[in-house]
Amino acid sequence: MSEVMQKMRAPLLPGVVALALSTAYLIALLAAEKQALIIGLLAFAVVAVLAAHYLGWLNLVSRSFADQEDVLGIYAILAACVVAAFFHDNHFVLLLFVTVLLYTVATLGLNIQFGYAGVLNFAGASFFGIGAYTSAVLSTYTAVPHLLVLLIGGMLAALIGSLLLVPVLRTRGHYAALVTIAFALLLKTFLEVNNVLGGPQGMQVKGMSILGWSFNDNFEIGKIEMSFYLNYFVVSMLLLTGTFVLVRRLERSWIGLNLDALRLDEIAASCFGLDIARWKITAFLLGNFLIGIAGALFGMVGGFVAPNNYTFADSLIMVSILLLGGIGNPWGLVVATFIVVVVPEKLQTIQEYRILLFALIVIMMLLFRPEGLLPRPVRRYFPGWRA
Amino acid sequence: MSRIARLSIIFASALFVGAPVATAQAKDKVKVGFIGPLTGGVSANGLGGRNSADLAVKLRNAHAKTKYEYELVVLDDECKPNVAVQVATKMAADKEIVAAATHYCSATAIATVDVYHKFGFPIIVWGAVLPDITYRAKYAEVHRVNGTMINQNDANAELISKIGFKNVAVIHDTTDYGKGHNEYFSKAFAKLGGKIVGTFGVTADQQDFTAELTQIKALNPEVIYFGGLTPIGVRIRSQMDKLGIKAVFDGTSGIVSDAFIQGLGPLAEGSLAFREGAPTEKLPGGKFFMENYAAQKYDNPPEAYGAFSFAAMDLILDSIEKVGPDRKKVIQELANVKERDSIVGKVTFDDHGQNTVAVITKYVVQDGKFVEWDDSEYATGKRKLPGQK
């Protein structure tokens, strides 16, 4: 039996090649400074991906990823480390990279809500902000260990999110979305008028330090000076790996099955004896918890929190990452986060037109691939199983 | 078509698109930076500032005697603190960029001063007016050519009470800009014996002010003081008219922009506003600046703070010319700036890097233009503000 399964598995090679190519491309894009080169690289990526799709190579890659996910996951971590090592003394690129990692964690949280349970949440940035403000307040006024601060940030986001439980459970569809939008606006106004939390001017956040190791100082390995953001990269990478595994396991488990049933048809699910409220609450709180942790760490990375960082528009950016990547597919989210965070930044060279161009790109994507870049595949009940 | 043919076409097109790779230049260049809001609600000011900084660099490069060839690196902070921290890190971490003129929005400037300090990157703020930017910490890297909102509001309160107004209602946006203005104006006005009859905080993206204005109408103030930026200033002024409120509209530096007059048309008449520095035309180098700006045929006007951006950039270029492209030396050089002539008047940095020579200009809108109060027909008594004796 196991031999048969082994034979049916797709080869590892296409996945590894795809990873290696995208790593090389990412390094080239992040290192590129000249306007013509950046635009050329971006156009090249579009053409290359279309070509690969046209020739059927993308299919090979996705099959390879589907069957050999664990191995390729480890390669992906290695690839991220290679990129980080390449830019070891470049503060800005590492900051950008850490931003991508933490936004991925946050959208993974959002993914549990949107993608699995079908609970709409248009206040992602608000929960992100709750996490960030938690780390600002705790690191300014108390001596709570910083790793614990991350946890508390997540728990606080879940706790404050639980205020929304009753309205979210009692409303459906558009109305549930409205509840979360109202919450996003309320939270921003609350932060602005609250002088203890710095008011509109915001608060400074101290950098992370664990056991006397200050994350905000540059350090040296051998004779090579490393950027202090490398510290944050390690923590963010650990956080992302943990979250990714958690979300993947959750999806495959019976919990994920319950959540899927809930999303597809609430009434049918409840006829089969599923407790709708229970699973909605689980998904909503767990999602907010993850977003809160990411936010708490991001607050420390950025060193500054202000209400303007966590507006409704920022929540929409998170949702657009989710839509772009393909709702329900964690790998898609990773790709989409890179696009949404890195591309507008790289387009700085065209100044006031960049947001316009970026919006055009997103609209084109949604027009020609409305299911997202990497749509969620059919549920696989065990590895090697094919629908 | 065969598979091979298809492949080759695809690769050919990919090469074609990826080909325009710029070649490296051998010339010796010094990079300087500019950060401002190029997109979003206050982008008019950001673009004006960008053009003015660009003008300073171009004029300098056109000089035959300059030691270096300068290149301007421009980044967009979107008037958002989190984006600002990102671009500030990008600029400060780039060792090739020696110094920069940064930020129009107070929220972004206050969020980034720590970044500049950490990287030892000398900057001159060209538009943000929050006092804390220079006064919260004593960072050698941070300077500011424009004044703070404290000076602005002292002058504002003085004029209002001199005209004879006693009752003022305050509307301010709930950003640090609006809150700060409210605080300093209320203090200054109370000192002069005036009375604030009501204070209303509104969010910076609010559309409808009927609720606040209806309450204000009942309070019947002679003046409505507004601490905020042009977009909501335009809305409040036009909604005042709809509700039949006759009070004088008294704004801050945030509404000194051509967009304010364009947005309101004849309704703008008689609005007051205050800004640090003399009006661009009256500055020692104002004519020179305006002429050169016009000669470059930029798409956007310099707006209220263009001259400050120009002056900040010019100061940076002066310092680099003198001590060379070295951040530490530029910081030392900037600390010595005393009584330095610039197009915005004499510049003297105090120990916090704040320009202490803050001239405040009082403006009133007359016939679709911001006219200096002392030159206006309102000051001579030829025209009268509503309720003016």
User: How many angstroms separate the CA atoms of A229 and A386, rounded?
Assistant: 42
Cα of A80 to nearest chain B Cα, Å = 20
Q: Could you give the 3-state DSSP secondary structure of residue B111?
A: helix
User: Are A204 and B114 inside 8 Å of each other by CB?
Assistant: yes
CB contact under 8 Å between B114 and A351, yes or no, is: no
**B111, A306: Cβ pair inside 8 Å?**
yes
Chain A closest-CA separation from residue B86 CA (Å): 8
CA dist A366 and A359 (Å) reads 11
Q: Under an 8 A CB cutoff, do B89 and A352 touch? A: no
Q: Given A44, A95, A216, which is nearest B86 (Cβ)? A: A95
Q: Point out the residue among B10, B13, B81 whose CB comes nearest to the CB of A308.
A: B81
Residues of B in contact with A34 (CB under 8 A): 21-22
Read off the DSSP letter of residue A117.
I
Summarize pLDDT for B50-60 with one digit per residue, the tens: 999 999 999 88
CATH number at B3-147+279-357: 3.40.50.2300
For residues B178 and A270, give the distance between their C-alpha atoms in angstroms, rounded to a whole number: 52
Report the pLDDT value the prediction gives residue A222, as an integer from 0 to 100. 66
Pick the CATH number of B150-275+361-380 from 3.30.70.270, 3.40.50.620, 3.90.1170.50, 3.40.50.2300: 3.40.50.2300
Q: pLDDT value at position B19?
A: 44
Written as six digits, the tokens of A293 are 């942790």
CA dihedral A7, A10, A13, A14 (to 10 degrees): 160
Q: Where does the pLDDT of residue B205 fall: very low under 50, low under 70, confident under 90, or very high at 90 and above?
A: confident
Give the ranges where B19-148 is alpha helix by DSSP (H): 43-62, 81-93, 106-119, 132-135
A218 interfacial to chain B (CB closer than 8 Å): no
Q: Do A34 and B179 touch (CB under 8 A)?
A: no
| CA separation for the pair B41, A311 (Å, rounded) | 15
Contact list, B14 vs chain A (CB under 8 Å): 44, 47-48, 51
Nearest Cβ partner for B17 among A40, A91, A306: A40
Does the CB of A37 have a partner CB in chain B at under 8 Å? yes
Query: Which residues of chain A have a CB within 8 Å of the CB of B85?
Result: 302-304
ipTM of the complex: 0.71
CA of A37 to nearest chain B CA: how many angstroms apart? Answer: 5
Q: Which residue of B has its CA nearest to A355?
A: B39
Nearest to A102 by CA among A236, A269, A262, A259: A236
A250 to chain B nearest CA, in Å? 32
pLDDT, tens digit (0-9, with 9 covering 90-100), for B62-113: 887 788 889 999 998 888 888 888 889 889 888 889 999 999 988 889 889 9
- Say what the pLDDT of residue B226 is: 93
C-beta atoms of B47 and A44 within 8 A: no
Nearest by CB to residue A200, choosing from B21, B76, B175, is B175
Count interface pairs A-B at CB distance under 8 A: 119
Please give chain A's pLDDT, 387 residues, in tens. Answer: 444 455 566 778 888 888 888 889 888 888 887 778 888 888 888 888 888 888 888 888 878 877 778 888 888 899 988 888 888 878 888 888 999 999 999 999 999 998 898 888 899 999 999 999 999 999 888 888 888 999 999 999 999 998 888 888 888 778 888 888 999 989 988 888 777 887 777 788 877 777 767 776 777 666 777 778 888 898 999 999 999 999 988 988 889 889 999 888 888 988 988 888 899 999 999 999 999 999 999 998 888 888 888 888 889 888 888 888 888 888 888 888 988 888 878 777 666 676 777 778 778 877 888 887 787 877 766 655 554
* Region B134-163 average pLDDT: 87
Across the range B171-184, mean pLDDT stands at 86
Separation between Cα atoms, residue B185 and residue B227, nearest integer Å: 9
A190 touches chain B (CB under 8 A): no
Contact B76 A348 (CB under 8 A): yes
Q: What pLDDT, in 10s, does the model give residues B310-347?
A: 999 999 998 998 888 889 899 988 888 888 888 887 88
Q: CA-nearest residue of chain B to A306?
A: B81
Sorted by where each starts, the structural domains of chain A and their CATH numbers stand as: 1-86 (no CATH), 90-368 (1.10.3470)
Count Cα neighbours of B322 within 13 Å in the Cβ-side half-sphere.
15
Over residues B239-286, the pLDDT tens digits come to 999 999 889 999 998 888 888 999 888 888 889 998 877 777 777 778
Q: Residues B171-189: what's their mean pLDDT? A: 88
Does A90 reach chain B within 8 Å, measured CB to CB? yes
Average pLDDT, chain B: 85
Q: Which chain A residues are Cβ-neighbours of B93 within 8 angstroms?
A: 90-92
Q: pTM score > 0.95 for this model? A: no
Cα–Cα distances in angstroms (integers) from residue A244 to residues A115, A157, A248, A335, A344, in the given order: 14, 19, 6, 14, 25
pLDDT in tens, B341-383: 888 878 888 888 888 766 788 899 988 888 888 888 888 888 8
Q: Please indicate whether residue A345 or residue B217 has the higher confidence score (pLDDT).
A: B217
Cβ contacts of B110 on chain A, cutoff 8 Å: 201-202
Indicate whether B154 pLDDT > 70: yes
- Chain A: residue nearest B23 by CA? A34
A-chain residues within 8 Å CB-CB of B6? 54-55
Q: Give the pLDDT score at A58.
A: 80
Among A51, A92, A306, whose Cβ lies nearest the Cβ of B10? A51
Select the more confidently predicted residue: B36 or B22.
B36
Q: Any idea where the domains of chain B sit in the sequence? A: 3-147+279-357, 150-275+361-380
- Write down the pLDDT at residue B25: 42
Mind telling me how many Å the CA of B149 is from chain A's nearest CA?
15
- The answer to whether the CB atoms of B85 and A51 lie below 8 A apart is no
Contact status, residue A158 vs residue A274, Cβ threshold 8 Å: no
So what's the pLDDT on residue A285? 93
Q: Is the pLDDT of residue B123 over 80?
A: yes
Check CB contact under 8 Å for B93 and A199. Answer: no
Q: Which of A36, A188, A309 sits opposite B81 (nearest CB)?
A: A309
Indicate which of A352, A354, A355 best probes the interface with B, i.e. most B CBs within 10 Å of its own CB: A352
Indicate if B150-275+361-380 has the same CATH topology as B3-147+279-357: yes
Q: Does residue B46 have a pLDDT over 80? A: yes
pLDDT at B24: 40
Given the DSSP bridges, would you call strands B97-102 and B29-36 parallel, antiparallel or unpaired?
parallel
Residues 6+ apart with CB under 8 A from B14: A44, A47, A48, A51
A201 in contact with chain B, both atoms CB, cutoff 8 A: yes
- Mutation for A interface: B6, B15, B89, most A CBs within 10 A: B89
Chain A: residue whose CA lies nearest to B37:
A352
Query: The tokens of A109 are what?
Result: 């949280």
Q: Say if the Cβ atoms of A47 and B81 lie within 8 Å.
A: no
For residues A272 and A265, what is the distance between their CA atoms, to the nearest angstrom? Answer: 11
Q: Which residues contact B169 (CB under 8 A, 6 or more apart)?
A: B196, B197, B198, B199, B200, B216, B219, B221, B223, B224, B225, B247
